[in-house]
Amino acid sequence: MNRAHYIGGTFLPHGDDTGPHGDDTGTRPLINPVDGTIRGKVPEAGRETVDAAVAAARTALGGPWGSTSAEDRAAALRRIADGIQARFDEFVEAESGDTGKPRELAATIDIPRVIGNFRAYADLLYGRPEHAYATAIPGWSTGTGQALNYTVRRPLGVVAVVSPWNLPLLLLTWKVAPALAAGNTVVAKPSEETPSTATLLAEVIGQADLPPGVFNLVHGSGVGGAGEHLTTHHDVDAVAFTGASATGAAIMRGAADHITPVSFELGGKNAALVFADADIEAALEGTLRSAFTHSGQVCLCTERVYVERPVFEEFVAALGERARSLTGYGPMISAAHRDKVLSYYRLAADEGAKVIAGGGVPHFEDARDQGFYVEPTVLAGLPQSSRIVQEEIFGPVCHVAPFGTEDEAVRLANDSRYGLAATVWTTDLSRAHRVAPRIEAGVVWVNCWNLRDLRTPFGGIKNSGIGREGGAYSLDFFSEPVNVCIQI
């Protein structure tokens, strides 16, 4: 696959030393996290390449796309969805190959939801209500003494979309689909670790009869590279980003110079509360999924588990046993991320944690031993103030601690600088309704995990983000309401 920049409807050639605009900084190897082999090369966009992509998006905004009807935009989104569906297996293989996640996960979660993103926003464009008011004007001496106020929406303009490596295409299209639906043009910058499905998406969009420049793609790194050039660009009208909280803070500082609107979905240190009245079997299976799906490399994964004391020992032992029996899990995205997770495993030992399961590196006696794997790990015995309990690890690890009362459970869940998601396990309906609204998180699941309806708001509070994505909430961000007032 030629993982090239896509600008103005054209894939640009690249070499090892320079790009088409003379400022690219060459290429970097794309590493297979399963076995450490090289999958290909990825170009690094320099400032002039990013400038060209933004200029192409600006030109397309002022061209036919700027006057495209909602019906035509919806039809374009459906053509994109159909194009992805037609190349489903190709997308699955590329997503699994870049991330190392099991093919089944990409085939049942990532790519189906990608297709759903485009189809959902095509549907949402129809019948979206706006407000109109007939207002009496006291003391008005001409006309009827009334004014009619109504709202219309216009696109923000050129939108920069920067997406992470853990759910590369799903999170990219969660922003690209509503941005295009609202009439914007897009410059996308996927993670340099996982560029392949974004490149396939550009191919599909190129065949979906959108005007050149509506969607553009640049590859490269973040800090000091293509990502920083893009998010600080003076001609970018909005930035939508998913990734680490520290990166979000850096983007916000850069966006402040131009007062550029931002939408952020950032990190999480998510809590699960397991009450003694819960269906323990369901809670165990749910927590196993929420802690270890994609080897914990999902912002929604559970890293803190709080269990009511009467069932604490039983729950910890059973969760550890199930974690030890896990097979078929994927690697960390890179050697650097593997080393980061392992450093937290060592820190846990230094802090005096009790290792219930895992805590090291698995040995497979095959090519995977050259990959970036760590063991699914369950810890216990650390105080709430420990770094293991407070810092986002983003790996297959959770710490389990007991609680005594409902109030204590809520206090422990909220004792975090993050506030993305939480899970409550209880068969007491009244307790569920009491507890869920008290948890400081953008999403609270009760007796389930990661069930998503694209029409609902998604996002975090505190260090976990700004704004909400999903349904009309995304369309609100990617469009500007304009009030029209007419004297009657």
User: At 89, is the secondary structure helix, strand, or coil?
Assistant: helix
Give pLDDT, residue 17: 40
Domain boundaries, the chain: 6-266+464-487, 270-454
Give the closest residue to 215 by CA, choosing from 187, 195, 183, 196.
187
Whether 100 and 137 have beta carbons less than 8 Å apart is answered as: no
299 catalytic, yes or no? yes
Q: Which helix (H) or strand (E) holds 423?
A: strand 421-425
What is the CATH code for 270-454? 3.40.309.10
What is the CATH code for 6-266+464-487? 3.40.605.10
Task: Answer whether residue 73 shows pLDDT above 80.
Answer: yes
Q: What is the mean pLDDT of residues 166-182?
A: 97
The total number of residues written for the chain in this structure: 488
Question: Which residue in this structure is represented by tokens 């090291």?
Answer: 360
DSSP designation for 213? T
Instruction: With cut-offs at 50, 70 and 90, classify the pLDDT of residue 128.
Output: confident
Give pLDDT tens digits for 200-217. 999 999 999 999 999 999
Pairing of strands 27-31, 397-403: unpaired
- Whole-angstrom CA distances from 399 to 245, 341, 379 are 21, 14, 5
Pick the range with the lowest mean pLDDT from 14-18, 75-79, 348-352. 14-18
User: Checking phi first, is residue 186 left (phi over 0); if not, alpha (psi -120 to 50) or beta?
Assistant: beta
Q: What is the mean pLDDT of residues 37-49?
A: 96
Give pLDDT, residue 397: 98
Instruction: With cut-offs at 50, 70 and 90, classify the pLDDT of residue 141.
Output: low
95 catalytic, yes or no? no
Q: Which helix (H) or strand (E) holds 487?
A: strand 479-487
> What percent of the chain has a predicted confidence (pLDDT) above 70?
96
Q: What is the mean pLDDT of residues 95-113?
A: 97
Catalytic residue from among 193, 228, 265, 308: 265
Give the closest residue to 455 by CA, choosing from 174, 124, 128.
124
Catalytic residue from among 44, 95, 299, 301: 299
Give pLDDT, residue 142: 61
Give pLDDT, residue 178: 97
Chain mean pLDDT for the chain = 95
Give pLDDT, residue 483: 96
Instruction: With cut-offs at 50, 70 and 90, classify the pLDDT of residue 135.
Output: confident
Residue 123, Cβ density class (10 Å: 0-12 exposed, 13-18 middle, ≥19 buried): middle
Give pLDDT, residue 25: 65
Compute φ and ψ for 153, nearest 5 degrees: -120, 140
Give the closest residue to 107 by CA, choosing from 84, 88, 80, 120.
88
pTM over 0.85: yes
Task: Answer whether residue 19 shows pLDDT above 80.
Answer: no
Read off the amino acid at residue 1: M
